[in-house]
Amino acid sequence: MNEEFLVYLWTYQLFKPNLISSSGEVINVISPGSRNTDSGPDFFNAKMMIDNTQWAGNVEIHVNSSDWFKHKHQTNPSYNNIILHVVFNDDMPVYRKNSELIPTMVLKHNFSSSILENYVAFQSSKNSIPCHDLIHNIKHFDKLSWFDRLMAERLEKKSDEIYEFLELTKNNFLQIFYQRLARSLGYTTNADAMEMLASSLPLKLLLKHMDDLMQIEALLYGQAGLLSDPHKDKYPAELKKEYDFLKSKYKLQPMDSNLWRFMRMRPVSFPTIRISQLANIIYNSSGLLNKILESEKLQSVISLLSATASHYWINHYRFDTLAPGKTKMLGLSTINIILINTIIPIMFVYGKMKNNHSIQERAFDWLSEIKAESNSITNKFLSMGIKAENALQSQAMLQLEANYCSKKRCLSCRFGHLLLNRE
């Protein structure tokens, strides 16, 4: 038995009504109160009838009533107005400072044994999804409502990262948009390096060269440390010459080229290709963020992000090395990653800061239009009969697995709650 499980029983009032306290009073709970996750009593502002008197105050929960003294509550004034002590096992009476006995409600033997059996089974499960064998019983409506809530949680978490950056940059939305765009283009392998590149080369500097694609590419490749060596091809040689001039002009310090990863990657995702695509997005989309925020249709944004790497890269994947000819255009799967990880979180934060609910709603709507991701987590849920129909649901699955299933927070999970109470 643990306190977390008892808190769950109290929150949802999953015990017999009109229990008798250890001292003989009839207890009828009107409201369990509000959960307190900080220091102090477990629940604030509970309401109940104890015998014929209505009480309002705080509730404390322990496995054993003697835990009151183990936790030194008797010396803490925050516990002076406890109106009920809820325990699994009453092994010691507890008194207020004025020597009045605090009514104690004992939950042992007073709730359905199946709830505890299901909980123990989930907690001892060796499966990464504790309710693996039962989750197919979740009704469609319950699945959708919980996925919506999980997606809201995930967006809030991503929003916190954006808020931290905005605080550091005095609300520079354009710079964080540019950095997160670069990060998304790097996938997992080169995400950190791409973000470092964007951080080392502020967007306001690139915008000074908006009318010259070669200068934008020279700045990006040069800062990436990819123009350090002499080149035999004309294109990189010209980029290097351009960068050397701009590096001196702006006093730039390039990155270490060893930060970039090329191994075990599809050539189309090489950083050389992604950097050119980033340069082309910047060059071809003046006022890109505003255009995105003003777009009503998802397809309009997809068109804005459909960048192609420069002509040189048709028959190259790395500088000075020929390859079979192929146009290097951003694929829809990559654009979807940008939408999920960059565009939609920034729209959500922008809408929240500007009190523009339509932008926030649009962010949610677009997630429902984007194809579901396919990865080890979504495949795991699929094997249990839970299919992600769109990106909102696949993102919700990532949130569910990372923040509930892997931590066995079944008591805080909507699916867990429904399955725990299944007879």
What tokens appear for 110 in the block? 């007073």
Please tell me the predicted confidence (pLDDT) of residue 414.
Answer: 97
| Tens digits of residue pLDDT in 20-55 | 999 999 999 999 999 999 989 999 999 999 998 999
Task: Please give the pLDDT value at position 170.
Answer: 87
The residues facing 58 across adjacent strands are 82
**Could you read off the pLDDT of 223-255 as tens digits, one per residue?**
999 999 899 999 999 999 999 999 999 999 999
pLDDT, residue 286, reads: 82
pLDDT for residue 285: 81
366's CB contacts (< 8 A; 6+ apart) are: 298, 301, 339, 343, 344
Q: 24 near 93, Cβ under 8 Å? A: no
Taking 70 as the pLDDT cut, the residues of the chain under it are: 423
If we measure between CA atoms, which residue out of 86, 45, 46, 43 comes closest to residue 67? 86
